[in-house]
Structure 1
Amino acid sequence: MRDANLMTFMKRNLWVIAVLSVSCITSGPVLSQSNEDILLSVLASDASVADKCNACRELQAVGTEKAIPALAELLTEPSVSHTARMALEVMPYPQASAALREAVSKTSGLTKSGIIASLGERRDAEAVTLFAESMKDDGPHVRVATAIALGKIGTTEAAELLAAGHAKSKVDNTTDISQALVICADRLFAAGNRAKALAIYTKLSQPNQPQAVRIGALRGRLQSANSGLAMAIEQAMVDDDLLVRQAAASQLPSLSIQAFRDFANKMQTNWSRLPAEGQVAMMAAIRTRQDKSLASIALQAASDKDLAVQVAAIRALGIVGDASALPLLIQSAIQDDEVGKAARHSLELISDPKLDQQIASILRAEDVAERRATWIEVVEARRPLGAVSLLLQEASGSHPRVRRRAMAALANLAGPNDIAAMTSAVLHAEKGSERDSAEKAVMLVCQQINESDRRADLIIQVLQSSSPKDQVALLPMLGRVGGSKAKQEIEAALRSRESARYDSAVRAICNWPDASVAEQLLALSENAESSAHRLSALRAFIRVIALPSDLPNTQKLNLLEQAMGRSVRDEERNLVLQRVSAVRTVEALRFLLPYLDQPSLAQTAGASITELGRHKDLRNPNQVEFIPALEKVLKTNQNQGTLENARRYIQAAHEG
């Protein structure tokens, strides 16, 4: 690793090769020198500041005691002091600390601040006596760095020096010294000096201290309290001072499992004394710890008059609750507010087999459609045994919202064996958006079948055994699923002289999921019985041509050009121009370019040209054509996103 670091350094600093060459002539092979020797020779040379800084950085990894004198000499040079001290900062040798201490009195300003900071990182107790003068330095950066370093050193002497500085400090750095004192107290507490730490925490947790300082001091005061953390939290959580209460709540996770359990049970008996935010904090802690033995506390709080407490308790019940919580959660779940939302979420999480039976019973008995839909959401989230059967019943019910929600849930829970039943349920959906959504739900379940030609088998079985009216209703869904067998059924219907069956077949083939029916759609766009059918076929043709397929780009573009020729409305023309952006060829750019001159089509054409320009493998080899095209987009387009992208791609083309 060290050799690799050296090679990286040499690649960045070609002049080192010259140094090594000299070394070869005067001292034999380069390999006779260690990596550290080579780097030290850089520091002793007339190398640039950048090269010396790079050498110092490498010495952070490979430097030994031998490097300390060379690094120490650089500490007083502002341009390289930072990297030199960083190398010394990590060295595990007393001489490194001594070098840093010696440099404090020889430097000033930011250089001095940095050296002091390094002594703080090393927690060098011998530096404390030097810092008495630094605390009175004229430079605020030096005073702040000294305070922070003393805090990190964290000895009794450091604390006393900080306390004296705090008493005499000016307003501009009182907060910095206070924060350093908190750090120092943390160090003292960790070292076992609880009394000294507590004295500092107590002083700095008073209301006259800055809030940021108080928060840290309050936290420390609680942890170092002689009465124990649990007792200190209990007392603080009923304090009149909001910040004290918040600090106490933040320490709840610090309690051990048993200590928190004892604390929570004790607080339950004095629940009314606990302010609302304390109760919320208790519920959050119970939820986080997932301690089911505390479920009774959450159940009690779930009936609290305070909304925040009630919501927090109900959320906790989702994690720690049991059968005893079900009546309250079920009753709360019907509310259309934050309480209801929390209850429904908890019902989704709580693990109790009895709950699934109760939810099913409630769902069947519920008369209000909105509530039935809500319970379906809970069923979908819990995924209990028998859920699909229950949802299929709801999908065939009398209310559109309930049916729609049940079919959406079935799309996630049902499997291939349920396709026939879902197909029958589609017949209950109203024509329009509900029927479309139901058909898409069946399509999603059919996609679980790997063999695409088998996906429509169960739908076809239902269709063939249905009445002529239901067959007409099911054909459009068959088109969404696709496959050769579905295609045969639809083509047979297209040959029918029954207008309803023919109309349904046209809608079916217009729903087709890929470009394999492009020829049929193109023919229908010219020969269909009505103008409405011809228009639907044309729009479907434009849609499928741009879908991923085995068709080469030249053929896709040719077919889109044909679609443009057959379009009589700007709506379809714009649709064609939009789809052309999927054909990543320079010929597509040439096709789009003339439409920038037509106001009704220029916006879409510009957006598609810009989308083509996004692809550098297409844009850069053809920048002679792309740059003028994108510049024309800037003159004709009004969409800010398109304009911003066009400018970016023009710049990229120039650079590329």
Structure 2
Amino acid sequence: MRRTLRAAIAFAAFSGLVIAAGPSPALGADGDLKARVSSILERFPGDTAAGRDALCAEIFKLGPEAVAETCARLLPPGAGNDAKARFAVNGLAVRVTRPGAEAERTLFIRAVLAALAGNPAKEVAAFLLSQVQLAGKTESVKPLAKYLTDETLAGPAAAALQTIGGPAAARTLLKSLDAAPRSARLTLINALGGMRSREAMKKLLVLAESGDEGLRRAALFALANIGDPAAGPMLSKVRVAASFRDRAQAPTLYLLFARRLAESGRTAESLDAARTVFDSYGRPEESQVASEALALIVSILQDKALPDLLRAVDSPIRGLRGAALELATPAGSHEATARWIDKAASSKPDVRAEIIEMLGRRGDAAALPFVRESLRGRDKVVRLAAIPAAVRLGGEAVMSDIFGLVGAAGEDEMAPLKTALLGFNGRRVVPEAVRLLDSTPLPGRAVLIDVLGEKGARQEIGRVFTLAGDPEPATRAAAAGALAKLAGEADLDRLVTMLESAADADDIIRLQEAVAAAARRGPQPEQRGAALVGLLKNAAPGRKVAILRVLPKVGGERALRAAVEETGSEDAQVQAVAVYALSQWPDYRAADELLRIATATRDKKHRLLAVEGYVRLVGRANMSGGQKLALLQGVLALPMDDGDRKVALMGVASVREPESLRLLAGYLDNPVLFETAAAGLLDLASEQSPQERWLSGHEAYSVLRRLEARLADPAGKERVGDLILERLRQGGFVPLFDGRGLDGWKGLVADPPARAKMTPPELAKAQAEADERMRAHWRAIDGTLVFDGKGESLCTAADYADFELLVDWRIEKAGDSGIYLRGSPQVQIWDAAANPAGSGGLYNNQKGKSQPLEKADRPVGEWNSFRIVMIGEKVTVYLNDKLVVDNAVLENYWEREKPIYPSGQIELQAHGNPLYFKNVFIREIPRDTAVPELAGAEAGDGFTPLFNGRDLEGWTGDTKGYAAEDGKIVIRPELASGNLYTAREYEDFVLRFEFKLFPAANNGLGVRAPLEGDAAYAGMEIQILEDGSPAYWDLNPYQYHGSIYGVVPARRGFLRPPGEWNAEEVTVKGRRVTVSVNGATVVDADLDAASAGGTIDGRDHPGLRRESGRIGFLGHGSLVEFRNIRIKELK
């Protein structure tokens, strides 16, 4: 299909269908057109819209052949991954719609039409038609006609014609209507309606009487949308025998018809239709329909719609009344206001209140007398509506009215009254509030006190202090709140005295807030809290306790020093409250003192408070996750009770870093801390952002499986299992076994060479017989694949090329089995007690290693876990998180002289004994596409290739262990694994490259390195490491991928899984080094600051002082691949 599509486009291009916007550039040493298009497509979709547009410009620059070639890369489902080509074609379509791009648009649309002329697969054609919808004009109308009778393509073709518009497009749709199959006719009818085609009326009126419900509904909608008066009789009646859906749809269609009539100037007919709908739909569940009809009436009549609105307010349905009053809100005449006042006066209280609210919003002062009168109404609902309306209409003229209500109003009227009073000018409202204060009972008195505080009536603070000692709790509460707004440093002594003597818990809390507010109100920020600290110095213990409890609410250096000093008090209560105050401190300045207390104190309560405060401050601190974890690890290392450690573990769980997972997992075997660690792990794993790939990685999977096994509660196990499945899916894994049946599996038919010789009928017959045998001996029982020991191997229904496979297995005594990869044996499974080498080895290898690197089996009867990675011929196996096979070639057991097959089925080997498998997941690893070339934008920014893709010209060092293959630098550890350096030195630069890691791979990037010596010390080494491998779970952070080895730790968790390409950028400028991995910055360090006082690995790194040197790849005996290496020198 792809060859056909390309051929059609090519023919069209040479026959003149595709025109050029300008001359095509000559293709020379850079490669042919296909390669150059591939290079551009590889960079799609771009990081931003501007980046995508720049890539599209590169395609257009190559001429019409490049646009045609891009279209030719579109593939039907199942034929390959064409996502980048689709991004590109869509990007081209968007680009050509900009003003002044008609030449590009014509070039693009003719290329798309040429691609359509090649009769591509339906799904590809549908995509191309959607691009015609974006960029097509009248030239596309005729070519689109043939798709209107196609059930699959009528939809996108009709959408394109509707967007293009015009009489020709409408005639094309109408002409195809009779010949189109039913599903396509529905699409054409909708498009004709959307285009308001009056020419279609005759056919649509016939279809509106159709016995086919779908066609009838589509025709009725199109008739309504067109808005021709001839459709009125058809739309105005619904047959008694009509379906429920027809009856429900009728008013919506009729209102659409009415709107279209109004748009065409037929207002009288439109009003008749709208009023008919309004009068016919009066039940509560139909209020939305009536509201829409009323809105249409108002849009036509404007102010003359008042009678309709007044009639609508008589409705018992609140929603319809609300819609009417909302429509009445825009300012109108005084006459209209008078009509609404009359209506309100004659209405029930709830309707009167709704009208008053509307009058307030309307803003006509003519309504004020009526609203003022309503303030004294008997009905609360009316008074509540009148309060804000009166203020809106009368402003300060109604202040006396509002004050007049405060004394007698109920509790639920206080909030709107307070809001109203606070809206008035303070110079007028404060004196009146003071005048009425003594004579006003609660709850009105509390409102007046609040007004004094909110308006800043400092001159009344003496009265407020007196009220703060009132017998009534509500009065005291309001007064304390006002003091928090009025009091200053001069009032602290009095406030503290009140606080010290307060007994009620609520009073204490409010007075503490007042003291803190007054202390913070000092004239100079640097003196914050000084006055309160001054009161603390010579205070009695009880007074000190009162002040210390407030200090965290004040904050600042003076308050902190005072609290620290009191932690050494001889008074036990003062000391305890001082520790508590530090534990509640608002900023990180208290952290060191809290850690000191946690380390030194023998008082368990003090230590717990200190740990709680320290963990809280670390969690809120502005520092990296790695720094936070280092501090929390320091707390966990202190000699303390497990109860204290729970607090620290909760802090660890709040830091979303891979090390948090590892740290929490270390406590799963602690019976006291298990629940805290488990809750933390569930917290971490419950969500996964796109950059948190580590939550789908090997370590997270292993930890969550451990947690699942430890949980006794079935609901807890299920939750963890669901999380594991969700995380695996985000990591690209899919289940091969659903826990319920044998879907996705088949029986074994012979071996690969024998199967290859069978004819299709022979293979189908043999497969059917094998499937019968499979069902007899393999079963799904309680989420486990169970083999009874009497049949043959179980095989995946699909073939797999490169992949990562997870599988748990269990055997019985003397058990024997294995995992066949691509149909060939095998990763060995057997009873390790009888076979001391253990499981996991490539048992059938003859030339290469067949035994595992170590024995990692659990005892027979327990579950074991495999993680198997196969890329090309190489296989890596982890058994129970131990590396037992390290990138070894799997030999072809069936045809020894040939390499292993490029793809094949996975088999669970039967060997005459019962077997058990569960948790079977696979992640397919994409194989390499074309190596991207240097982007045009990068070239314009000063980047140049550092590797030519053909050979190692420009490189020196270990040219035996490194080779140029297929546009990549590939390490061959079996030949050598030294260092490969650039032939010249570099000072400051930006280096970008892509790299592919294999399981447990280890390499490094040498920076400013000499040819001689260990580059990690004589220069700098930026670590390149598959640090998600269990082989590296005990590393220090300064050894993670991206770290400046031994000097600066890196953030972890941004690498893609083994076998996939990663992108890295390293910027070296003077003393600053920045490293980003897959778009995330993992290191941003100043070398002088990082090495001040010595490097973190404790070793000498003289290379940090170098100003220039070579760039190199530092081999450590692992297979790694590099490509697309480019550099920009910084001058």
Q: Does 1:581 align with 2:653?
A: yes
Match of 1:425 in 2: 495
For residues 224 and 200 of structure 1, the distance between their equivalents in structure 2, rounded to whole angstroms, comes to 12
Corresponding residue for residue 464 of structure 2 = 393
Asked if structure 2 preserves the Cα contact closer than 8 Å seen for 1:104 and 1:112, the reply is yes
Q: 1:376 to 1:47 in 2, by over 3 A?
A: farther
Secondary structure at 2:632's aligned position in 1? helix
SS in 1 for 2:332: helix
In the alignment, structure 1 residue 234 sits paired with structure 2 residue 314: no
CA distance in 1, matches of 2:274, 2:382: 31
Query: 2:208 aligned to 135, 156, 173, which one?
Result: 135
Distance 1:107-1:625 versus aligned 2 partners, 3 A rule: closer
Q: Which 10-residue stretch deviates more, 625-634 or 131-140?
A: 625-634
Contact conserved, 2:360 with 2:389, CA < 8 A, in 1?
yes
1:454/1:280 CA distance change after superposition, 3 Å: same
Q: CA deviation at 1:295?
A: 2.8
**Residues in 2 aligned to 1:325 and 1:184: alpha-carbon distance in whole angstroms:** 49
Under a length normalisation based on structure 2, what TM-score does the superposition of the two structures give? 0.49
TM-score (norm: length of structure 1): 0.79
Instruction: Pick the aligned partner of 1:354 from 425, 428, 433.
Output: 428
User: Bigger shift: 472-481 or 88-97?
Assistant: 472-481
For the 8 Å contact 2:291–2:324, the answer to whether it is kept is no
Q: Which residue of 1 aligns with 2:885?
A: none
> How big is each residue's C-alpha offset from its partner over 1:118-170, in whole Å with a ceiling of 9 and x where there is no partner?
2222222222222221121121122222222222222322324434x646873
Match of 2:220 in 1: 147
Partner SS for 2:210: coil
* Letter of the 1:47 counterpart: P
Q: Which amino acid aligns with 2:316?
A: L
**Map 1:401-550 → 2, pairs under 5 A:** 418-419=488-489, 421=491, 424-429=494-499, 430=502, 434-435=507-508, 438-439=511-512, 454-464=527-537, 470-471=543-544, 473-478=546-551, 481-497=554-570, 502=575, 504-514=577-587, 516-517=589-590, 520-521=593-594, 524=597, 536-537=609-610, 540=613, 543-544=616-617, 548=621
Distance 1:269 1:216 in 2: 26
Is the CA contact 1:233–1:249 (under 8 Å) kept in the aligned structure 2?
A: no
Instruction: Considering fraction of residues, name the structure with more helix.
Output: 1
> Aligned letter for 2:705?
E
Query: Deviation at 1:560?
Result: 1.9
Cα shift at 1:81: 0.8
Answering whether residue 384 of structure 2 is matched by residue 384 of structure 1, we say no
CA distance in 1, matches of 2:713, 2:490: 50
Of residues 166, 179, 203 in structure 2, which corresponds to 1:93? 166
Kindly provide the amino acid, as one letter, of the partner of residue 556 in structure 1.
Answer: L
Aligned equivalent of 1:559, options 620, 634, 637: 634
Q: Is residue 682 of structure 2 the alignment partner of residue 610 of structure 1?
A: yes
Partner in structure 1 of residue 774 of structure 2: none
Matches within 5 A, 1:588-607: 589=661, 591-593=663-665, 595-607=667-679
Residues 515 and 332 (structure 1), Cα distance of their counterparts in 2 relative to 1, 3 Å cut = same
Change (3 A) 1:252 1:552: closer
Q: Could you report, residue by residue, the CA deviation over 1:98-134 in whole angstroms, capped at 9, with x for unpaired residues? A: 1222223223534222222222222222222222211
Distance change in 2, residues 1:371/1:218 (3 Å):
closer
Bigger relative contact order (CA 8 A; separation at least 6): 2
Residues 449 and 455, structure 1, Cα contact 8 Å, conserved in 2? yes
Whose strand fraction is larger, Structure 1's or Structure 2's? 2
Shift of 1:554: 6.1
Q: Could you say what secondary structure the match of 1:123 adopts?
A: coil
* 1:106 counterpart SS class: coil
Other structure's SS at 1:566 match: coil
Give the counterpart letter for 1:418 in structure 2.
G
User: For residues 190 and 492 of structure 2, what CA distance do their matches in structure 1 show?
Assistant: 71
1:156 paired to 2:229: yes
Question: Match for residue 648 of structure 1?
Answer: 723
Map of 1:298 onto structure 2: 371
Cα distance in 1, alignment partners of residues 533 and 391 from structure 2: 44
Q: How do residues 160-199 of structure 1 correspond to structure 2 at under 5 angstroms?
A: 160-163=233-236, 166=238, 170=242, 172=244, 173-199=246-272
State the 1:508 CA deviation. 4.1
The equivalent of 1:633 in structure 2 is 707
Tell which deviates more after alignment, 104-113 or 393-402. Answer: 393-402
- Measure the CA separation in 2 of the matches of 1:55 and 1:549: 50
Q: Which one-letter code corresponds to 1:652 in the other structure?
A: R
**C-alpha spacing 1:590/1:462, structure 2 compared with 1 (3 Å):** same
Equivalence for 2:195 = 122
Task: Indicate conservation of the 8 Å contact 1:222/1:229, yes or no.
Answer: yes
Residues 546, 582 of structure 1: 8 Å contact kept:
yes
2:417 to 343, 352, 355: 343
Distance 1:155 1:303 in 2: 55
Note closer, same or farther for the CA distance 1:540–1:146 as it changes in structure 2 (3 Å cut).
Answer: closer
Q: 1:137 to 1:226 in 2, by over 3 A?
A: same
Structure 1 pair 366–114 and aligned structure 2 pair: CA distance change class (3 A): same
Counterparts of 2:350 and 2:718, CA distance in 1: 50
Q: Any conservation in 2 of the 1:237–1:274 contact (CA below 8 Å)?
A: no
**What's the secondary structure of 2:119's corresponding residue?**
coil
Distance 1:450 1:79, change over 3 A: farther
Q: How many Å separate the matches in 2 of 1:236 and 1:14? A: 67
Alignment of 1:196-207 (within 5 A): 196-207=269-280
Aligned identity (percent) is 19
From the superposition, tell whether residues 590 and 313 of structure 1 become closer, same or farther in structure 2 (CA, over 3 Å): same
Is the Cα–Cα contact under 8 Å of residues 553 and 586 in structure 2 kept in the other structure?
yes
Contact residue 423 and residue 442 of structure 1 kept, 8 A: no
Deviation at 1:452, TM superposition (A): 7.9
CA pair 353-629 structure 1, distance change in 2 beyond 3 A: same
Change (3 A) 1:197 1:30: closer
Partner of 1:10: none
Write the distance in 2 (CA, Å) between the matches of 1:541 and 1:203: 71
Per-residue displacement from partner, 1:32-79 (whole Å, max 9, x unpaired)? 763332222233321122232223222223323222222222212111
Distance 1:522 1:155, change over 3 A: closer
Matched to 1:574, the amino acid is K
Aligned mates of 1:113, 1:391 — CA distance in 2: 80
Supply the AA of the counterpart residue of 1:580: V
CA 1:227–1:264 in structure 2 vs 1: closer, same or farther (change >3 Å)?
Answer: closer
User: How far apart are residue 80 of structure 1 and its match?
Assistant: 0.8
* Cα deviation 1:164-194 (Å, max 9, x = unaligned): x646873542443443233223333444434
> Partner of 1:78: helix, strand, or coil?
coil
C-alpha separation in 2, matches of 1:14 and 1:313: 77
* Distance (Å, rounded) in 1 between the aligned partners of 2:15 and 2:481: 82
Shift in Å, 1:223: 6.4
The answer to whether the Cα contact below 8 Å between 2:618 and 2:628 also exists between their aligned partners in 1 is no
